[in-house]
A and B are shown apart, each in its own frame.
Chain A
Amino acid sequence: MGDDILSYNGGVALAMKGKECVAIACDKRYGVQNRTIATNFTKIFQYSDHCFVAFCGLATDVQTVSERLKFRTNLYELREQRKLKPVVLYNMLTNLLYERRFGPYFVFALVVGLDPKTGETYVYDSDNIGAVSDNVNLATVGTASEYIFGLGELFFKPNMNSDELFEATSQALLNGVDRDSASGWGAVVYVIEKDKVTVRELKGRQD
């Protein structure tokens, strides 16, 4: 070791807003430093019909935090007898991460959601101790995040429809990931709209 903990396993995720739709995308690599172990490790998890979270960072923590969060959200839905809203999910996640402020999980998270009644879109990003962010247009986490930020800023424009949003998200992710050795090996994009979620597997460089 002697490297950044977040690039030990590699991986990247990106989220972008459109008009009454949001997209979240991630690569599929799971590696241990320079060795690629698996190419089906998606980092996006669903917590409600319209709420998704992507976790990037140390793979063990990705799994632990996603499961711990699922535990809490399941209890919430049972107690409250209603579905999670994106803001609630985000608050739960940041609380979970901040509890371990001293001794943190090494995951960076993206929370996306959509309110099916109003069409309002939510994209939040969090660092590994749960720093609260406002609703942003574009967010990315992971080893290739710096490359993807640049591309995302280029392709993003306000009020995109779901097709344009899919293209913008995919191209930003694929091209960013091509410049990063620790991520890649395929990609998955979820486009969330009021009445459906479209999951697409992308064709990318397999290296």
Chain B
Amino acid sequence: MSGLAFEQPTGGFVFDNCRRNELLLSNGVLPGKIHKTGTTIAAITYKDGVVIAADSRCTSGTIIFDDNVLKIHRLSDNIYALGAGTAADCDFQTRLLESQLELLKLNQDRQVRVATAVRKIQQHLFRYQGHLGAYLIIVGVDVTGSHIATVHPHGSIAFLPFVASGSGGYTSLSVIEDRFKENMTEEEAKQLARDALYASTTTDLYSGSRINMYVLTKEKLDKFLPYEVVGVRSDKQNDYTLAKGTTQVLSTNVKKIEFDIVNEKVKTTTGTHEAMELA
């Protein structure tokens, strides 16, 4: 129910606006543009683990809303997810999965496996029949080795040695297909991931800015935020600082905020201590 007094968030989706929205849409009203992460995300297995890379652009229609988004989401210490598609869905579904995996880990007293994470998210997304627009790549290293899985919004998955997804996915994939080989070294894998992402950040409209990269193995997690800045901003040609008083103001209202004193230190200025004298 939508009575304000009874509104206690119980978790899960709420559908009370649906009827109203349907009416609006049937009258020909267009819904607002939601943020999509456009994106290129890629993951490659190598000898010791996996290299994952993502760009950092978030678009709303063709406007770049955020130039520096981290599309790599932590699911657990050894499992990470890359998200493409609807930004809100990627963020919230990976957060939900992260908390479920944490509880599972505490319950079973073991490190969580990649296959578990993939199965959980796949079943969850299938329930929503593709309406949650989360194109995810789940990567991780567990007791059974290193794994990469791609998950689609309808719930289909594929475990692969390398994968690239998002609007720039095909571009990246073509670079990886060309040069991928089994058991690469870490440097080769990083260079390949970088080249794949570079190709798509420069060609795809919806990918750009920076290439963020993580290297995940059984022992370590290296974060490169960013690994490379592809979209380097040029400096402004002029100083556009506006002088004080440029804008005409009709009225000013200054609201002072009361300070809470957190701690107080009193420093005396006399240097020597004199013994107290009792008269």
Contact = CB atoms under 8 A, between A and B. Distances in A.
Interface of A: 1-6, 8, 49-50, 57, 67-68, 71-72, 94-106, 108, 116-117, 125, 127-134, 136, 139, 145-146, 149, 154-155, 157, 163-164, 166-168, 170-171, 174, 186, 194-203
B29 A8 contact: yes
Contacts of B251: 200-201
Interface stretch (B20-28, B110-118, B151-159): B20-28
A166 B13 contact: no
A167 B257 contact: no
Interface in B78-111: 86-89, 91-92
B69 A196 contact: no
B32 A128 contact: yes
Contact of A130 (B17, B60, B88, B250): B88
B28 A2 contact: yes
B242 A164 contact: yes
B34 A129 contact: yes
B16 interface: yes
Contacts of B246: 167, 170-171
A102 B128 CA distance: 11
A142 to B, nearest CB: 11
8 contacts: A2-B29, A72-B7, A101-B88, A103-B16, A129-B86, A164-B242, A167-B247, A199-B253
B247 to A, nearest CB: 4
Given A127-B87, A128-B32, A133-B58, A49 B257 contact: yes
Contacts of B242: 155, 164, 167-168, 171
Nearest to B17: A103
Interface string B241-261: 111101111111111110100
| A interface secondary structure, majority | mixed
A100 B24 CA distance: 16
B24 A1 contact: yes
Given A127-B35, A168-B242, A5 B256 contact: no
Nearest to A105: B17
Contacts of A130: 88, 92
B62 to A, nearest CB: 9
Contact of B259 (A99, A116, A154): A116
Contact of A127 (B4, B32, B132): B32
A201 B250 contact: yes
Given A100-B17, A139-B65, A202-B249, 5 more contacts: A99-B9, A103-B16, A104-B21, A116-B259, A127-B87
B66 interface: yes
B81 to A, nearest CB: 14
Contacts of A139: 65
A197 B255 contact: yes
Nearest to A149: B63
Interface string B23-55: 010011111111100000000000000000000
A136 B63 contact: no
A153 B162 CA distance: 38
B199 interface: no
A195 B255 CA distance: 9
B87 A155 contact: no
Nearest to B60: A127
